[in-house]
């Protein structure tokens, strides 16, 4: 537990895009957004990657806004190649987010849709762990 929250999921980072703020829950399975213009909340599940399993030295993946409605999660972990067990991999998942209709499961909440755009993985020949990131 960290500050009363389970120790899993993404780093506690909010990303602002225009009049909307996006963030992941501490358990890392749900993406939230709040549109200050509309004064409405949105939420949706990320089904294409299990964020709770993406941990490197106790850190979850970094969450970035790339452009428009495209976001990115990236993280590093140890390569599963038994011939070279000390190598690491840097992973990047790009996905598109759109605000949707009303939720039938949660009254007053609107659906946030996330669709996979691409997945990439790069082998790194030294140990690296991202503590934080900034898109320039």
pLDDT digits (tens, 9 = 90+) for 43-55: 888 877 766 555 5
Residue 51 phi, psi (nearest 5): -65, -25
123 or 107, greater pLDDT: 123
Mean pLDDT of the chain: 75
Q: If DSSP codes are grouped into helix, strand and coil, which group holds residue 69?
A: coil
Lowest mean pLDDT among 19-23, 34-38, 90-94, 124-128: 124-128
pTM of the model: 0.74
- What CA dihedral angle connects 12, 62, 45 and 54, to 10 degrees? -100
pLDDT band for 81, please (50, 70, 90 cuts). low
Evaluate the CA torsion angle 6, 8, 9, 10 in order and state its sign: positive
């Amino acid at each position: 537990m960290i500050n009363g929250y389970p120790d899993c999921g993404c780093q506690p980072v909010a990303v602002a895009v225009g009049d909307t703020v996006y963030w992941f829950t501490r358990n890392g399975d749900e993406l939230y957004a709040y549109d200050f213009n509309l004064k409405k909340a949105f939420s949706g599940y990320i089904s294409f990657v299990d964020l709770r399993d993406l941990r490197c030295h106790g850190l979850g993946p970094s969450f970035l806004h790339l452009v428009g409605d495209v976001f990115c999660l990236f993280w590093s972990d140890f390569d599963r190649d038994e011939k070279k067990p000390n190598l690491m991999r840097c992973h990047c998942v790009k996905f598109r987010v759109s605000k949707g209709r009303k939720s039938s499961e949660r009254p007053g909440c609107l659906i946030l849709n996330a669709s996979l755009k691409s997945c990439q993985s790069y082998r790194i020949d030294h140990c690296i762990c991202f503590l934080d990131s900034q898109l320039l």
